[in-house]
Amino acid sequence: MIDQRLLPRDLVVVSLDTYQEVADAIKTMVVRGAPAIGAAAAFGLALAARSSAAHDLPGLRADLQQAAEVLKSTRPTAVNLAWALKRMLAVAETDAISPSGMADRLLTEAQAIADEDVATNQKMARCGAGLIEDGDTIIHHCNTGSLATVDWGTALGVIRMAHQMGKHIHVLVDETRPRLQGARLTAWELGQYGIPYDIISDGAAGYFLSRGLAQKVFFGADRVTARGDVANKVGSYMLALAAHDNRVPVYAVFPISTVDFSLQNGEDIPIEEREAGEVLDIEVRGVKVVPEGASARNPAFDVTPHRLLTGWVTERGVIWPPFEGAFVQPYQAQP
CB 198 to ligand MRU: min, Å: 19
From the candidates 174, 222, 260, 302, give the one annotated as an active-site residue. Answer: 222
52 vs 121 by CB, closer to ligand MRU: 121
Neighbour count for residue 65 (Cβ, 10 Å) = 14
CA dihedral 329, 333, 334, 335 (to 10 degrees): -110
Instruction: Report whether 87 contacts 42 (CB < 8 A).
Output: yes
CB 153 to ligand MRU: min, Å: 6
Where are the strands (E) in the chain, listed by range?
A: 137-140, 170-174, 197-200, 216-219, 223-225, 230-233, 250-253, 259-260, 283-284, 287-288, 301-304, 311-314, 317-319
Instruction: Report whether 258 contacts 229 (CB < 8 A).
Output: no
87 vs 184 by CB, closer to ligand MRU: 184
The residues near 104 (Cβ < 8 Å, ≥ 6 apart) are none
35 vs 266 by CB, closer to ligand MRU: 35
* Angstrom distance (rounded) from CA 215 to CA 237: 17
* Angstrom distance (rounded) from CA 228 to CA 265: 9
CB 258 to ligand MRU: min, Å: 8
CB 11 to ligand MRU: min, Å: 18
Active site residue 63: no
Residues that bind ligand MRU (CB under 6 A): 32-35, 78, 142, 144, 148-149, 154, 181, 219-222, 232-233, 300
Positions marked active-site: 222
